[in-house]
Structure formats: structure tokens, C-alpha cells
Structure 1
């Protein structure tokens, strides 16, 4: 699984592979939409059992563009997963961010079912292009990629964290690619919530 982050058109950082979740100590402030899974561990979005239930499925964020084939599935995820709703709420609130989700894996790299390319533009806006291969596990991969986008909104310095031990970030291929325990955990959390909802007949 490939993740790509570009701060300029010429410089790309990426994250590849599904790794075992590792501990991490975030360098940024805690978001209101996030919760700690334990002391000094990677921050992920988790379901709050004490939170009041949402009365209606929120709409797809206006700054999120989807290919038609993925639209119904994303709406289903919004109805089934509190974690995914929180991810989408953060994306919706980032007015300087535009996200697209379409078909496609990682160009030139075999076996990677998903990629995200993030461009930080001179005017302060951010463009994130998510590509997911057909027949991939859409629930987990969309949430995984969205968490990588949120990491960048939070200002996570992947290169710096990868140089330190036990941060939950690892560098691959000379530091041009990265994977994070935070994104892995978020993807798995959303997939579990969606499966539970479907077993209950709720999505």
C-alpha cells in the first residue's frame, strides 16, 4: 500500500506497506476529534461509546470529490463508522483543502493498492489526490489514506519522526516513502466499525 505526500511538484514523500502498529508520541497538539489509545502511543480516531448518537448521516464534505463508483460506498461508511465521520468532519472544516478519490494504484509500483499525493501550493491551499485500485478493501484504504491527509493537516514531520525510534513512523526507500502506525490503526478501526454495523444490518 503506497502513500505519497508532495510538498512541491518536485519533492515527494511516500509511505508504503502495511506494517504492525507501533507506538508513537505525536509532536502536535491533540485534536478535539481524536483520542489517545494509551500513554505515549500513536493517536488515532476511536469510537467514543459515551458520545450521543448522530441522528442523521452527514453529507459528503463539499471539498471531497469522488468518482461515482465510490460515492455510495463512502456514504455507507459515513453511516456506519463514527471514526470515519470524524475524519470527514475534519476534512470538511479544512477550507484550504481539496481532496479527490478516484481509481488507480501507485504508478510504476506493483502491488500497492492505494496512494495519496499531497501538494502544498504557494497560495496556502492543499490538494490531496487519493487513488485506490479496483477490488481493494475500500473501507480500510480510504480511512487509511484520509488519516495520512490529517497527519499533514496536523503538521506531522514524517521525515523527522522516522529518524527517531519508537515514533510509529518508518521510512522506506531512502526516506522517500513512509508508513505510520496512526494511519494503519485508523484504517483498521473504520473497517471494524463498518463490519459491525453491517452485521447489525445498519449499513
Structure 2
């Protein structure tokens, strides 16, 4: 797998490159946003690890430009900003996942592998199911025509369920993709509960011993 690392902190870039190469990835590194955008446009990478605060062009602008150009390479954003709104900005602009510094390399690796397991290619403009319409580009959700405000984590859980369609999504898959393997599996149940309160309990079904699926 070929990865593009866009990171201007020399020590961080060197450490990540060593770790990822040791795990079998081919890593190419650039140190500013403009170079990162050009590389992501034409490099044919399997995924991009993208810092937010970069010289010449921010990571937000890089990912927003890629998505506007219909480039759907998986993007994992890295940031020293740990506020919920900062994470929401990254996801709103089109990042697939967001990791706050400092982070565990084990968690970063798990998040990357989760991104790489997702289907590649153009994404649907809208995801629909159970009376819900989710727009990945604008980060908006409507249930029966009424807009519903979701937190970034709630949005990601719902997006996974919609992409799976009528299939069951295992709790472990949701945990690894949205939070990472180091988190408590009970957090998935908590966030499914949040979604049920906002969207209606009947829209998300529990398949006992397996996971969750959207009602048909």
C-alpha cells in the first residue's frame, strides 16, 4: 500500500515514516500543503495522512480541494487541535477520519487499516435508508425531511450503517472504524442510543450478538 504523509514537523514525520515502513507500507513524505495537494492529485496513493497546520496551505484546504475535484482518496487528518468543532471541520471538509495529537501509533495504524478496507471509488452523492438522507459532502442529515443535528461521532456511526445498507454492521467494526480498537465497546451502544433518540428508535435495529442495521 502506498501512503502519502503530509507533515511539516520533522521528528513526527520521521517517526511515522519509520513505523509505517516497518508495517509494510510504502511512504512518500512532503512537508507543505501545496506539495501535498499536488502529490495527492496525481500520485495514485491508497491513502493520505494529512496534518491540519501546514505551511503554504492548510490541511483543511487540501482535503476540501480534493473532494471538490471528485478525488476520493481516503484521508486521515492529524491535528493538535482537540476541540469537537475542529474535528467537525475536518469531517465537514471531506476527511474520512480525524486523529488528535498526541496519539498512539497503534491507534493510527488501526484507523488507517480501517480506511483501506472501505470500498474505493466515487462515493454516492447522498446516502439514503430508513427515511434518512445523509449528505457526506455537506455533513447534513435529514429524517423524514427534517434536518437533524448530529455530533461528528454520531454522523460517522450513521454513515457506516447507511453505507452497509440492509446488512448488519458488527459492533466491533463500528468501534474500530469510528473510535479505534483501544476504546471500550460499550461506547458503540451509547452512541447508537444517541442516534435513536434523535432519529427514532425504530430506525436502528439491534441484531443480538452481532451488531446493528437500519430498518427496512
Q: TM-score range by the shorter chain?
A: 0.3 to 0.5
What is the TM-score with the length of structure 2 in the denominator?
A: 0.32
TM-score of the two chains, using structure 1 as the length reference: 0.34
Q: Which has the higher contact order (CA 8 A, sep 6+)?
A: 1
More helix by share: 2
Q: In terms of Rg, which structure is larger?
A: 2
